[in-house]
Amino acid sequence: MLAIDVKDLRKQFNVQKNREGLSGALKDLFKREYNEVTAVKDISFQIPEGEICGYIGENGAGKSTTIKMLTGILVPTSGHIKVNGFIPYKDREKFVGGIGVVFGQRSQLWWDIGVIESFQLLRKVYRVSEQDFRKRLNELVERLQLGDLLNRPVRKLSLGQRMRCELVASLLHNPSILFLDEPTIGLDIVVKTEIRDFLMQMNKEQGTTILLTTHDLQDIEALCSRVIMLDDGRIIYDGGLDELKNRWSKGREIQFQFARHTPIEKLKQLTESLDVTWTPENDVTAKMWLPHAVNVSDALARVVGGVEIRDIKIFETNTDDIVRGIYQSGSAAVSKETSQS
């Protein structure tokens, strides 16, 4: 079954214009003028149950606006949304029981009271029985190592501790879909890794569907098999992470460490008919850059067959570089080509 089904979804905001000077302000008092901002422009996608999908794009691309529509916070200007079989902004009461939401930049916990008291309030909001709540809380507290934190007020927690509590808060009612908007923002690498491991395990064991917006491409690499990329309110890529890398990464680089001094001319000779580029690093190491069209094992076989090698390292273009490249290459032109091919 589909966890999320979106068709031709659009959101427009009317933003009030402020005219200049005193006379402008007076005019604004009597007759307001508005600019239309279209944050999301007729997007369509479907996410099956159990998938972890990355939703990425530059600042202002329309990610948060989409998440807000999917979670029922905003009403779309046009288009259709079904999440867990519900229309989020219409069926709110039934709908919220099946979803969890974490906005990395905002808290759903009460600042001045103990964490456990916030959890108890949420238990009541979501109408979870005391027995189910205890069971679920114990599991989550153990997994995310929150034991010592439960009685502290939220304002006394570090960002990493608070984010782990936010995750627990969003999962107390055992939702089948989790929306995460920048869940690892500002966290150190240890906490990021803990959170990624936790999400991965939860998805594996319980089949939780996760839609994740992030600027941290390591999150995507660690968690998502699929990526939807937005640019200026439109989807410019929807597909596998590997495909994204293959399509957009320009090539690979292989670093060779040779047993003895190997002149670059000799290496060029060995790979003569291949479209590769050699860069010497020192007497015994050199790098070979090869585009995707060149088969890695062909290239390796030529070199290995001709000179003695101590070590080899293969470097893939990382996802950061790929995404930057897509944006720089002019998204509108890319969008058609990418979505049609």
Ligand X SMILES: Nc1ncnc2c1ncn2[C@@H]1O[C@H](COP(=O)(O)OP(=O)(O)OP(=O)(O)O)[C@@H](O)[C@H]1O
Residues that bind ligand X (CB under 6 A): 13, 15, 37, 39, 57, 59-65
- Per DSSP bridges, beta strands 251-258 and 234-240 are unpaired
60 versus 251: smaller Cβ distance to ligand X? 60
Shortest Cβ 61–ligand X spacing (Å): 4
SS3 280: strand
Helix axes 130-143, 159-171, angle to 10 degrees: 140
Shortest distance (Å) from residue 98 CB to ligand X: 23
Compare residues 13 and 111 and give the one whose CB is closer to ligand X: 13
Residue (104 or 258) nearer to ligand X, CB: 104
37 or 312: whose CB is closer to ligand X?
Answer: 37
Q: Which is nearer to ligand X, 108 or 176 (CB)?
A: 108
Helix (H, G, I), strand (E, B) or coil at 53: strand
Least distance to ligand X from the beta carbon of 58, Å? 7
E strands along the chain, which residues?
A: 2-16, 34-48, 52-57, 78-83, 99-103, 177-181, 209-213, 226-231, 234-240, 251-258, 277-280, 285-291, 309-316
- Give the shortest CB-41-to-ligand X separation in angstroms: 10
Instruction: Quote the strand ranges of 128-280, DSSP E.
Output: 177-181, 209-213, 226-231, 234-240, 251-258, 277-280
By beta-carbon proximity to ligand X, the closer residue of 166 and 194 is 166
- Closest separation between CB of residue 43 and ligand X, Å? 12
The residue (of 18 and 138) whose beta carbon lies closer to ligand X is: 18
Q: Least distance from C-beta 119 to ligand X, angstroms? A: 27
Sheet containing strand 251-258, edge to edge, reads 277-280, 285-291, 251-258, 309-316
Q: Are 170 and 178 in contact (CB under 8 A)?
A: yes
Q: Which two tokens stand for residue 309?
A: 């090698």
Calculate the CA 333 to chain-centre distance: 23
Smallest distance, Å, CB 124 to ligand X?
A: 30
Question: Which residues neighbour 339 within 8 Å (Cβ) at sequence distance 6 or greater?
Answer: 235, 236, 237, 238
Q: Whose Cβ is closer to ligand X: residue 185's or residue 294's?
A: 185
* Least spacing, CB of residue 310 vs ligand X, in Å: 45
| Whole-Å CA distances, 242 to 54, 221, 280 | 13, 10, 30
> In the numeric block, which tokens belong to residue 33?
């003028």
